[in-house]
Amino acid sequence: MKIAITATGNTLDSTVDPRFGRAAWFLIVDTDTKQLIETINNTAGKEAAHGAGISAAAQVADKGVEALLTGRVGPKALPVLEKAGVKAVNDVSGSILDAINQYTGTARVSPQEASQRQTQPPTQNGGRSQGRGCGCGNGQGRGQGKGQGRGQCRR
C-alpha cells in the first residue's frame, strides 16, 4: 500500500512532523516493502500565509496514496483528502518506521506489554463507566447562592 507521512526530515530515520499543512516533508512510502518511494519538500506549505493545509492535501492526494499519517489534519484540509479517497490518520508520533509499523499492525510489542494486554478485563458499556461517587465533597466553595437544601449523603 502506498501512504504519505508528514516528516521532519527526508529519510525514514526522521520523526513524524505533528503539523500537516506546514510539515517540513511528505514521505511517500510503500508499506509492504517499507521502502521510500518519493520525498516532497513542502516549501510552499511552510511559507504560505493562508491555505497551507488545503494545498498540502491536494499535493498528497495527487500522489495516489491511500492514507496519510500525521499529527493533525485541519478541518479545511480533511474534506480535500476525503474527496480524493485518502484516509487521514491523526495523532501519529515517533519515528517514521514506528508509525508505519503501527499503521500496518506489525509493531513489535514487548513481552511485558503483551502480558498486560492479556490480563486487562474487557470493558463494558463501550468503555463508559458508571461512577460511584455521591458528590459529597469537602469543597471550600464560597458561592453566593441562597439555596436552602439540606440533602444527606448516603455513603
Question: For 57-114, what is each residue's pLDDT tens digit?
Answer: 999 999 999 999 999 999 999 999 999 999 999 999 999 999 999 999 875 544 445 4
Which residues lie closer than 8 Å to 67 by C-beta, 6 or more apart? 1, 3, 4, 86, 87, 88, 89, 103
> Containing H/E element for 6?
strand 2-7
The Cα–Cα gap between 48 and 52 comes to 6
Asked whether residue 38 carries a pLDDT value surpassing 70, the answer given is: yes
The cell for 15 is 520523526
Mean pLDDT of 25-45: 91
Asked whether residue 129 carries a pLDDT value surpassing 80, the answer given is: no
Q: Do 55 and 76 touch, CB atoms closer than 8 A?
A: no
> Helix, strand or coil for residue 68?
strand
Domains and CATH numbers, the chain: 2-104 (3.30.420.130)
Mean pLDDT of 18-22: 92
> Cell numbers 512532523 correspond to what residue?
17
Residue 102 φ then ψ, to 5°: -65, -40
The cell for 113 is 506489554
Q: What is the pLDDT of residue 13?
A: 93
How many Cα atoms within 13 Å fall on the side-chain side of residue 34? 14
Sorting pLDDT into bands at 50, 70 and 90, what band is 42? confident
Does residue 151 or residue 38 have the better pLDDT?
A: 38
Cα-atom radius of gyration of the chain, to the nearest Å?
A: 23
